[in-house]
Amino acid sequence: MKIVVIGGDGQLGVEICRVYTAAGHDVRGLTQEDLEVRHATRVWQRITGELTPDLVINTAAAHDLPECERRPDWAFSVNANGARNVALACQARGVPLVHLSTDYVFGGDHDRPYAETDLPRPLSVYGASKLAGEHLVAAECERHFIVRTAALYGPTPCKGKNSPNFVQLMLRLARTQPEVRVVTDEVTTPTYTVALAQQIKLLAEKSRPGLYHATCQGQCSWYEFAQTIFEETKTHTTLVQTTSKTFQSTVKRPNYSVLDNYNLRNQELDIMPTWQEALKEYLRLPARQ
């Protein structure tokens, strides 16, 4: 099969390319320079004519949350209109589209994991623009797989945020600061990109088109995640509990955004590890500490 991964140089896109390449597929990972999803004509030309893929996976997104708040037109042009451009081209080509979305479509008003059937209520421009993208993909591409995930980290840096992942950040702060302050009032599921890439491949091969949640299993606060990072790496530091009010962010984030992989589990396709198992696997990689 010929696989096109849009955002193929991103932290998830790189891992998806690796998984499909290892399986013997012809993989083309596209950077933003290769394909800007906001340019409808170019997206159409590349997908329907030049690349002729059998499957398209779209990981491209505007996900710098403060920048999305400052520039909502830009956020929607990438996350909504850009997603629609890809969906229209895939429909014309007659190929399935895997489109990545986010836990931030929810508002944090639950005390249990969100299922795919729960009503979204985004709090931020980023969440709203990603939700709009979901609707447009579903409307324009019959063979769509919309995959919501959360709190990604992995071997490849996140290009859009231009910063280390949470694990690397915690270990850096432990080396350079007298104490590390982490919030206790935001609960999510840290999700390892290598595991997610494998899940996406299985989903695209075996599942029915539709909406899916795909995160690691379990849940924790960011404080609990940091605590486990330090325990697993035997890092000695002063870890201090705090709340999101301390950081005075301009972006509203859900206090609870844990996802339930119900649709995957219902089809006996959920292969995601626990977040603790995934963290251990990541830390076994060279030079993670």
Q: Which residues have a catalytic role annotated? A: 126
d(CA 122, CA 103): 9
Which residue type is seen at 117? T
Residues 6+ apart with CB under 8 A from 280: 232
CB hemisphere CA count around 162 (13 angstroms): 3
Q: Which helix (H) or strand (E) segment is 5 a member of?
A: strand 2-6
CA-closest candidate to residue 208, choices 159, 127, 145, 257: 145
Inter-axis angle of helices 13-22 and 193-206, nearest 10: 60
The number of beta carbons lying within 10 Å of the beta carbon of residue 225 is: 23
Amino acid at 111: D
Q: Is 240 helix (H, G, I), strand (E, B) or coil?
A: strand
Q: How many CA atoms lie within 13 A of 224 on its CB side?
A: 13
Q: Is 75 exposed, middle or buried (0-12, 13-18, 19+ CB in 10 A)?
A: buried
* Angle, CA 87 vertex, CA 108 and CA 89 arms, to 5°: 165
Token pair, residue 251, equals 């972006």
- Both tokens assigned to 192: 């390892």
The SS3 of residue 213 is strand
Report the relative pairing of strands 239-242 and 180-183 from DSSP bridges. parallel
One-letter identity of residue 126:
Y
